[in-house]
Amino acid sequence: MKRIYLDYNATTPVDPQVLEAMLPYFSGEFGNASSIHTFGQRARAAVETAREQVAALLDARPQEIVFTSGGTEADNHAIFGIARAALTEKPAVHVISSVIEHEAVLNTCQALEKQGVVVTYLPVSRYGLIDLEALRAAIRPETLLISIMHANNEIGTVQPLVQVGQIAAEHDVYFHSDAVQSVGKIPISVKNCQLDLLSLSGHKIYAPKGIGALYVKSDTPLRQLLYGGHHQRGFRPGTENVAAIVGLGKAAEIARAALNSERQRLASLRDRLETGLLARVPDCVVNGAGAPRTPNTLNVAFAGIEGEALVIALDLRGLACSTGAACSSGAVEPSHVLTAIGLSTADAHASIRFSLGRYTNEAELSEALEMISAAVEQLRHLSPTYKKPIPAHH
């Protein structure tokens, strides 16, 4: 059975060019990037090239890129690092975030609350957007940091980072964004957004799992989380994972080169899938429709079904998708993102995320449409809660 993969927001396959770039660093080019001999110097040169490639994708400077184990570590380092540096000097610290952040941000904020930090979680509209005036009103004299994601992992909503950055700058507040789901899909400039910190993850942009990066604007007082050697300007000790770093650099270079063309291609495919589902499947609603969204993300509520049952039914037919964040799979609670935009528990449980990627094509989407409409019809036929439309009498 040929399988169709529509879960690119969960993870992506490693691009063949990325794998090719990495391979030498598992064997012949095995040097430690901190060693001063030729083996080490060649590894160091490869790491610095990757730093330049990642920086170019973000409109940053190479020395502002710190390599991490992924997006979660980058989020933790950004939020804990800023807060802990301030806690030693200030009597009160206040952080602002949103209710639809990824758990890597939400759980970090909750951990800070246990240490005495006050956190304000901004609500969102039914489109998943924060209100800029509410953000402005939430700022206090002791506000230290604003952490707002660029694009939501479940519904794809893109927040107005430029305006958030302006508000942060006006009030002299540090600004962090979890950009794991936007980097490589839509343009982002850390300069234009006036960002102090930005997190990204390799496995969302066709690099391997276990590698990510944190952009740290020069002169940002970030406390280190780990202690050891003086690697990466002292921000993150430990021998660099050279092969994975090289892979992330190559992935960033590929994403930057194809950013505009791939964005248009994916948006066209996503819109085709969205239009097809709305035309063929009764009683379905697109979550987040009407807001700016990442070009590859489509989240749909299918009334009267259980999302996990639909994911399993589609998997049996050869189609991979998800009910939302992969990090939360197995959770019985409804998605915090979908309830935050006003969905009932039943509608949140009935929602499915389809996320497209580099290897998605029109033929696959035609097949996917057939599979989804058939699976939804089958599950609704079995559902005790779905009210079938009454056929009209002629």
The 10s digit of each residue's pLDDT in 109-129 is: 999 999 999 999 999 999 999
What is the pLDDT averaged over residues 344-373? 97
69 pLDDT above the threshold of 80: yes
- Round the average pLDDT of the chain to a whole number and report it: 94
Determine the pLDDT at residue 389: 58
What is the pLDDT averaged over residues 26-51? 95
Helix axes 362-382, 307-317, angle to 10 degrees: 130
78 pLDDT above the threshold of 70: yes
Q: Which residues of 28-56 are buried (b: 16+ CB within 10 A; e: fewer)?
A: ebebebeeeeeeeebbbebbbbbbbbbbe
CB distance 196 to 176 below 8 Å: yes
Number of alpha carbons in the 13 Å side-chain half-sphere of residue 44: 11
Confidence of residue 327 (pLDDT cuts 50, 70, 90): low
392 pLDDT above the threshold of 60: no
- Compute the distance between CA of residue 321 and CA of residue 7 in angstroms, rounded to an integer: 5
- Which helix (H) or strand (E) covers residue 375, if one does? helix 362-382
Question: DSSP assignment of 125-176, as one string?
Answer: -TTSPBPHHHHHHH--TTEEEEE--SB-TTT-BBP-HHHHHHHHHHTT-EEE
Residue limits of CATH 3.40.640.10 in the chain: 16-255
Percent of residues, the chain, with pLDDT higher than 70: 96
- Compute the distance between CA of residue 55 and CA of residue 213 in angstroms, rounded to an integer: 10
Determine the pLDDT at residue 387: 74
CB distance 183 to 59 below 8 Å: no
CB distance 161 to 195 below 8 Å: yes
- Is residue 327 among the annotated active site residues? yes
- Compute the distance between CA of residue 239 and CA of residue 351 in angstroms, rounded to an integer: 42
What is the pLDDT averaged over residues 196-201? 98
Q: Which two tokens stand for residue 75?
A: 């989020």
3-state secondary structure of 85: helix
Confidence of residue 331 (pLDDT cuts 50, 70, 90): low
393 pLDDT above the threshold of 90: no
Least confidently predicted of 73-77, 134-138, 223-227, 344-348 = 223-227
Strand 212-216 relative to strand 197-201: parallel, antiparallel, unpaired? antiparallel
Determine the pLDDT at residue 235: 83
Residue limits of CATH 3.90.1150.10 in the chain: 4-10+259-382
CB distance 245 to 69 below 8 Å: no
- Compute the distance between CA of residue 42 and CA of residue 38 in angstroms, rounded to an integer: 6
Kindly list the distances between the CA atom of residue 336 and the CA atoms of 14, 268, 306, in Å, as whole numbers in the listed order.
30, 28, 16
The CATH number for 16-255, chosen from 3.40.640.10, 2.60.120.260, 3.40.50.920, 3.30.420.40, is: 3.40.640.10
- Compute the distance between CA of residue 212 and CA of residue 214 in angstroms, rounded to an integer: 7
Q: Which amino acid is at 392?
A: A
Q: How wide is the angle at C-alpha 193 spanned by C-alphas 192 and 197, nearest 5°?
A: 125
Question: DSSP assignment of 315-345, as one string?
Answer: HHHTEE-BSS-GGGTT--SPPHHHHHTT--H
Kindly list the distances between the CA atom of residue 223 and the CA atoms of 7, 76, 84, 234, 248, in Å, as whole numbers in the listed order.
35, 11, 6, 10, 24
Q: What are the E-state strand segments in 28-101?
A: 65-68, 94-98
CATH class of 4-10+259-382: alpha beta
- Compute the distance between CA of residue 334 and CA of residue 324 in angstroms, rounded to an integer: 10
- Which helix (H) or strand (E) covers residue 262, if one does? helix 242-280
- Compute the distance between CA of residue 281 and CA of residue 290 in angstroms, rounded to an integer: 20
171 pLDDT above the threshold of 60: yes
Determine the pLDDT at residue 384: 80
319 pLDDT above the threshold of 90: yes
**Catalytic pick from 109, 284, 321, 327?**
327
Q: Which residues contact 138 (CB under 8 A, 6 or more apart)?
A: 96, 120, 122
What is the pLDDT averaged over residues 381-385? 83
Confidence of residue 326 (pLDDT cuts 50, 70, 90): low
Confidence of residue 227 (pLDDT cuts 50, 70, 90): confident
Higher pLDDT, 224 or 96: 96
Determine the pLDDT at residue 173: 97
